[in-house]
């Protein structure tokens, strides 16, 4: 239909002038708004350039709205019905909360995340999203994933290299679903076992977290963050989360979690800060702020508002050059005046805010603070540069969409073998009269207790859902199944109601029900760290009749002294995760008992806080205790 060239040439000059004017106008507009065609050739898109140059180039092209968008992290349920906001507001990050186990297969996760990612790529500058999840002991939101022992068990194993291998597998099983970022490791130092997050800690001694942080961060992040087996790691929660005093929490019915940590600055540095230095030295890409407050003598300051600890200490002194992310609604907790809370948090050094629901409110609030000059553009540029640096390192600009190559290996035999190794290494033998353990496997065994045949209990919180569940959705092997694999004869009766006749040895597996965070704080009749009535009855019945071993499945020490009459052997199994057979390995002598207590074991929970080195230290079992056995093959 178009006019032929000779015809065009015969058009009057006025048309030529109009055409030229239009071209000039178009280029002026092009210069003003930087259309995609320009962005496509922009140097930030050039993988051959150093990351710092790409960041600078991109930052120079961004509007203030786009910058604030990058600092915004929304939860999936918040954008599910409004996905167009991702491109429109330039949202920089998404996460799914602990209870958002959204899909059953890696491919379905990847398809969902890719769907959101395509929205982000449609934004003016096409800046990809970074997607985060709490893969704190394996990818707990993915049913087929291997679930490792929670950190307390890894700490009991006293083997940072092994912990690093578990992190590398978690990374691979997580990246294969399209997720780029895990909110782990918790390098928290649990000073009071009543804390509901004790199991997320490697133990009460900062030496453990100091040793573990490096190998675990390197395990997650790999040699190359852009590899399809690596995820960005998060050292959390900065700082002093494990030092809060009983009764200081003001969140719901929490007792310790999110409370106040009162100590001198020297103590804070030695007990809680030092592990962050290890994480920073290992190149950790992000740090999450603690809900807790720190009182160094001048009254409590919320960690989310603590410019001294975030700006001066973490970013200055420790040399952290990744980005700082808030905790879930952590900024809201600073105070009732939201504008003041946002201003305080960003000025204190928080780079990305896990909003996670009312993201438009966060964006308009921060924009107003910038407009008024209360938050400087330099601060915003610093925050965004930190975030973009990690996105470039993750290779997201080159490969924004999921690479599910690793999906085939999710929950593989090889991965489960490492988990089983970690479980076996984490078992702590606390009592072993007459060398009852290891068993030969030829005994007629009687197995009871609430932890024997419950995948959910052995996994604990952050498994399938935030709080975890007694009925698990994961694939795995219970302790009972592990015992049955080896033992010639096993009678199982959870409540020990079956007759004991003929049994040589009893094994009673007592357990805590799953919990997470402050919901699991113990005391005041909440989770009480006590043996349940049913488990206590099982111990009485079984151990009163035959030689017996008690195995404790728990995230922390429990009050057990009064149940130990007649108990010949006692084992702390922690929260082993999906590979319960690892508990059976030292039990039958395939491996040695070699774990050691990473926390002091109190007689009663009122003895907490109880830590090695305390004056009048009188634990039931001291920090570091662990009887050894030889592997018998």
Contact positions vs ligand BGC (CB under 6 A): 97-99, 134, 183, 236, 327-328, 466, 517
CB of 466 to ligand BGC, least distance (A): 4
CB-nearer residue toward ligand BGC: 69 or 185: 185
CB of 305 to ligand BGC, least distance (A): 17
Q: What secondary structure letter does DSSP report for 273?
A: I
CB of 443 to ligand BGC, least distance (A): 43
CB atoms within 10 A of CB 369: 21
CB of 241 to ligand BGC, least distance (A): 8
CB of 250 to ligand BGC, least distance (A): 14
Collapsing DSSP states into helix, strand and coil, what is residue 547? strand
Please report how the helices 206-221 and 160-175 are oriented relative to each other, as an axis angle in degrees rounded to 10: 40
* Closest residue to ligand BGC: CB criterion: 97
Residue 201 and residue 151: Cα distance in Å, rounded? 6
Q: Where in 474-545 does DSSP place strands (E)?
A: 489-492, 505-511
CB-nearer residue toward ligand BGC: 320 or 328: 328
CB-nearer residue toward ligand BGC: 96 or 123: 96
CB-nearer residue toward ligand BGC: 112 or 509: 112
CB of 185 to ligand BGC, least distance (A): 11
CB of 26 to ligand BGC, least distance (A): 46
CB-nearer residue toward ligand BGC: 178 or 626: 178
User: CA distances (Å), 123 to each of 66, 70, 561, in order?
Assistant: 9, 12, 61
Q: Which of 517, 521, 547, 608 is catalytic?
A: 517
Q: CA-based Rg of the chain, rounded to a whole angstrom? A: 28
CB 306 within 8 A of CB 313: no
CB-nearer residue toward ligand BGC: 466 or 623: 466
Angle at 570 between CA 564 and CA 574, to 5 degrees: 120
CB of 598 to ligand BGC, least distance (A): 20
| Residue 398 bears catalytic tag | no
CB-nearer residue toward ligand BGC: 199 or 328: 328
CB-nearer residue toward ligand BGC: 204 or 327: 327
Residue 50 and residue 8: Cα distance in Å, rounded? 48
**Of 73, 65, 185, the residue nearest 130 (C-alpha):** 73
Residue 258 and residue 540: Cα distance in Å, rounded? 38
Residue 88 and residue 124: Cα distance in Å, rounded? 9
CB-nearer residue toward ligand BGC: 220 or 593: 220
Residue 231 and residue 222: Cα distance in Å, rounded? 8
Structure tokens at 193: 């076992």
Pairing mode of beta strands 444-448, 428-432: unpaired
Collapsing DSSP states into helix, strand and coil, what is residue 63? coil
Q: What secondary structure letter does DSSP report for 622?
A: -
User: CA distances (Å), 442 to each of 213, 253, 452, 506, 609, in order?
Assistant: 42, 49, 19, 13, 42
CB of 243 to ligand BGC, least distance (A): 15
List all residues 6 or more positions away from 284 whose beta carbon is below 8 Å from its beta carbon.
Answer: 213, 217, 221, 233, 234, 235, 320, 322
Burial class (CB in 10 A: 0-12, 13-18, 19+), 377: exposed
CB 400 within 8 A of CB 113: no
Q: Percent helix, strand and coil across the chain, each rounded to 5?
A: 40, 15, 45
Structure tokens at 355: 């909003």
CB-nearer residue toward ligand BGC: 54 or 197: 197
Q: Which of 66, 327, 568, 594 is catalytic?
A: 327
Q: Which long-range contacts (CB under 8 A, 24 or more apart) does 265-272 make?
A: 265/296, 268/239, 268/240, 268/243, 268/294, 268/296, 270/206, 271/189, 271/191, 271/206, 271/240, 271/243, 272/188, 272/189, 272/206, 272/239, 272/240, 272/241, 272/242, 272/243
| Residue 336 bears catalytic tag | no
Phi, psi of 57 (to 5 degrees): -60, -45
CB of 291 to ligand BGC, least distance (A): 6
Q: Which residues are catalytic?
A: 327, 517
């Amino acid at each position: 239909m178009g006019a032929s060239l000779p015809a065009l040439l015969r058009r009057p000059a006025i048309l030529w002038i109009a055409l030229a004017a239009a071209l000039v106008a178009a280029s002026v507009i092009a210069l003003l708004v930087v259309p995609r065609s320009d962005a496509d050739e922009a140097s930030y898109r050039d993988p051959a350039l150093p990351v710092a140059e790409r960041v600078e180039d991109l930052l120079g092209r961004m509007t203030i709205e786009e910058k604030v968008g990058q600092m915004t992290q929304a939860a999936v349920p918040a954008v599910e019905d409004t996905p167009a906001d991702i491109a429109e507001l330039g949202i920089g990050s998404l996460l799914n909360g602990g209870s958002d186990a959204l899909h059953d297969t890696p491919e379905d996760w990847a398809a969902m995340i890719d769907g959101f990612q395509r929205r982000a790529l449609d934004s003016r500058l096409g800046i990809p999203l970074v997607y985060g999840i709490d893969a704190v002991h394996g990818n707990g939101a993915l049913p087929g994933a291997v679930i490792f022992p929670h950190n307390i068990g890894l700490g009991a194993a006293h083997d940072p290299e092994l912990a690093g291998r578990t992190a590398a597998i978690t990374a691979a099983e997580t990246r294969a679903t399209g997720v780029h970022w895990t909110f782990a490791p918790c390098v928290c130092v649990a000073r009071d076992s009543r804390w509901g997050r004790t199991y997320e800690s490697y133990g009460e001694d900062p030496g453990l977290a100091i040793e573990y942080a490096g190998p675990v961060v390197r395990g997650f992040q790999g040699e190359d963050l852009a590899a399809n087996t690596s995820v960005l790691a998060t050292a959390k929660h900065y700082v002093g989360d494990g030092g809060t005093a009983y009764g200081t929490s003001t969140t719901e019915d929490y007792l310790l979690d999110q409370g106040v940590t009162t100590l001198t600055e020297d103590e804070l540095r030695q007990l809680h800060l030092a592990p962050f230095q290890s994480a920073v030295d290992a190149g950790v890409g992000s740090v999450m702020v603690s809900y807790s407050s720190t009182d160094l003598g001048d009254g409590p300051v919320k960690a989310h508002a603590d410019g001294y600890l975030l700006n001066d200490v973490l970013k200055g002194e420790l040399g952290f050059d990744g980005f700082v992310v808030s905790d879930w609604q952590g900024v809201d907790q600073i105070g009732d005046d939201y504008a003041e809370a946002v201003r305080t948090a960003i000025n204190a050094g928080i780079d990305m805010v896990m909003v996670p629901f009312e993201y438009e409110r966060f964006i308009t609030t921060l924009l107003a603070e910038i407009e008024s000059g209360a938050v400087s553009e330099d601060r915003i540029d610093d925050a965004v540069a930190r975030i973009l640096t990690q996105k470039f390192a993750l290779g997201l600009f080159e490969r924004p969409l999921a690479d599910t190559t690793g999906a085939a290996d999710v929950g593989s035999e090889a991965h489960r073998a490492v988990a089983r190794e970690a479980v076996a290494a984490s078992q702590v033998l606390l009592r072993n009269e007459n060398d009852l353990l290891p068993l030969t496997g030829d005994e007629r065994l009687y197995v009871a207790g609430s932890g024997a045949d419950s995948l959910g209990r052995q996994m604990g919180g952050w498994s399938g859902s935030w709080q975890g569940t007694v009925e698990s959705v994961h694939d795995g092997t219970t302790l009972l199944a592990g015992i049955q694999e080896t033992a010639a004869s096993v009678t199982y009766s959870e409540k020990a109601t079956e007759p004991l006749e003929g049994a040589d040895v009893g094994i009673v597996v007592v357990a805590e029900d799953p919990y997470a965070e402050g919901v699991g704080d113990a005391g005041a009749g909440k989770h009480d760290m006590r043996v349940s009535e049913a488990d206590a009855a099982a111990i009485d019945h079984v151990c009163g009749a035959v030689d017996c071993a008690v195995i404790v499945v728990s995230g922390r020490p429990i009050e057990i002294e009064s149940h130990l009459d007649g108990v010949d052997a006692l084992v702390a199994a922690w929260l082993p995760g999906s590979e319960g057979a690892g508990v059976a390995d030292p039990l039958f002598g395939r491996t040695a008992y070699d774990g050691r207590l990473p926390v002091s074991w109190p007689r009663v929970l009122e003895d907490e806080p109880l830590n090695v080195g305390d004056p009048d230290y009188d634990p039931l079992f001291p920090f570091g205790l662990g009887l050894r056995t030889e592997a018998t093959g």
